[in-house]
Amino acid sequence: MGDTAVKKRIFSGIQPSGELTLGSYMGAIRNWNALQSEYDCVYCIVDLHAITVRQDPAQLRRRCLTQLAQYLACGLDPEKCILFVQSHVPEHAELSWILGCHTQFGELSRMTQFKQKSQQHADNITAGLFTYPVLMAADILLYQADAVPVGADQKQHVELCRDIAQRFNGVYGDVFTLPEPLIPKVGARIMSLNNPANKMSKSDPEGCVNLLDKPEDIRRKFKRAVTDSETSVRYDPEAKPGVSNLLSIYSAASGKSVAEAEAEFSGQGYGVFKNAVGEAVVELFRPIREESERLLSDKAYLEGIYRQGAERARAVAIRTLRKVHRKVGFLSR
C-alpha cells in the first residue's frame, strides 16, 4: 500500500443513459485504463445524473449492470481502481445540497450544457437539469480528486467545481482539494458517421457505433458512413470531415498513425477504405463484447464488484462529508 499514498487521485464517471459508444471508448474509457497504474482512480456509473432526463426504470437498472460489465471488459480492474454506482453512495446527493447553498444562480444559468439541454428537452426543464453541475462538483470534491479526465466540452463544469471549492474553502478553511481538468493529449474526438459535423451520440443510432453492436451492424454502419464526392483518402477536417473522421477512427482502432493510414489507402477508393475501418472496429470490440456477455451471465459476480466498490467509495466519501458537516456547523451524528 506504500505507493498509493503518493499517487494523485482521479474521479470520472459516465451516465448509464444508453449504450457505451465508440466515442466514449476512444475519448474516455481507453484513457481511464491507461491512468489506472499511474493514479488512484475512482470511476463511477453516474445514475443520479442520468435521471435529469426521464428514464425507463427497468432499462436504467439493466444499463447500469451492462455498463459495469463493459468497464470490466475494457480492462478496468477493481483491484487497481474503485468502480461503483453513484446512487449507492448517498454522500453524493448530500454534499450536492450543501454545495448548492454555496453556488450562485447566475453561475448555473451560464452553463453551456444547460442551455443546450434546455432546448433539446424544452418540455421537461427540471431543477435537476439546472443544478446538475453542482452534483458533478460534489462527485469530484467528495473524493478530494486532484484531476478529472474530461473532454474539452466538460471543462466548464470542472472550472465551476473549482470556483465552488475555492468559495467554500475561503469561508471555512482548507476543506477541498482543487481539481485540475485532465484533457487527454491523445484521443480523437469521434464524430457521427451520418453527420461528421456532430459528435458521435447515442441520440443518432445510425451514426453511432456501440461497444456491444454485432459485427454485421458495425460493418453496415461504416458502409453507409458519409464521405464526399472525391475519391482520395486524406486527412483534411475542414474540406473532408467524413473521411477525416474515418481516418481518426481507423488510426485509433488499428494503432497506425493517420499518415500510415493515408498511405495504406492511397488510390484505393472509399469502398475499400470504409470496409477496412469497419473491420478494424469489429476486431477492436470483439473481445470486449464477448467478455461483457460472459460477465453479464454472472450477475452475482457483478453485484459483488459494485457492492465492494460502494463500500470503498463510501469510506473516502464519509471522511470528506464529516469534515464538511463540522465546518458548516452541523451537530455530529
| 178 and 165 Cβ atoms separated by less than 8 Å | yes
Return the pLDDT at 5: 58
- Average pLDDT of the chain? 92
Return the pLDDT at 187: 56
Q: Which of 8, 80, 115, 117 is catalytic?
A: 117
| 212 and 70 Cβ atoms separated by less than 8 Å | yes
Distances (CA, A) of 114 to 108, 109, 121, 145: 8, 7, 10, 24
**199 catalytic residue (yes or no):** yes
Return the pLDDT at 2: 46
> Strand pairing of 180-182 and 40-45?
unpaired
As a whole number, mean pLDDT of residues 261-282 equals 95
> Strand pairing of 147-149 and 81-85?
unpaired
Q: What is the pLDDT of residues 190-224, one digit of tens each?
A: 999 999 999 888 888 889 999 999 999 999 999 99
d(CA 198, CA 176): 36
Closest Cα partner for 68 from 296, 286, 310, 297? 296
CB-based burial label for 275 (10 Å; 0-12, 13-18, 19+): middle
d(CA 242, CA 225): 8
**What cell does 67 get?**
455498463
Q: What is the pLDDT of residues 56-106, one digit of tens each?
A: 999 999 999 999 999 999 999 999 999 999 999 999 999 999 999 999 999
d(CA 150, CA 172): 28
Return the pLDDT at 186: 58
**What cell does 196 get?**
461528421
**202 catalytic residue (yes or no):** yes
Phi and psi dihedrals of 185, rounded to 5? -70, -40
**221 catalytic residue (yes or no):** no
Domains in the chain, start-ordered, CATH in brackets? 2-188+298-328 (3.40.50.620), 205-293 (1.10.240.10)
Q: What is the pLDDT of residues 121-132, one digit of tens each?
A: 777 788 998 999
**What cell does 312 get?**
470503498
| pTM (predicted TM-score) | 0.90
- E strands, the chain, in order: 9-14, 40-45, 81-85, 147-149, 180-182
Handedness of CA 176, 35, 205, 64 (dihedral sign): negative
d(CA 324, CA 176): 9
Whether residue 184 is predicted with pLDDT greater than 80 in this model: the reply is no
d(CA 268, CA 153): 35
Work out the angle between the directed axes of helices 270-296 and 299-328 (0-180°, nearest 10): 80
Give the other-Cβ count within 10 Å of 3's Cβ: 7
Could you tell me which residues come within 8 angstroms of residue 276 by beta carbon, excluding any fewer than 6 positions away?
250, 264, 265
Q: Which of 80, 202, 223, 327 is catalytic?
A: 202
d(CA 252, CA 30): 10
| DSSP line for 153-174 | GGHHHHHHHHHHHHHHHHHHSS
As a whole number, mean pLDDT of residues 304-319 equals 98
Closest Cα partner for 26 from 207, 228, 255, 224? 255
Query: Which residue type sits at 36?
Result: Q
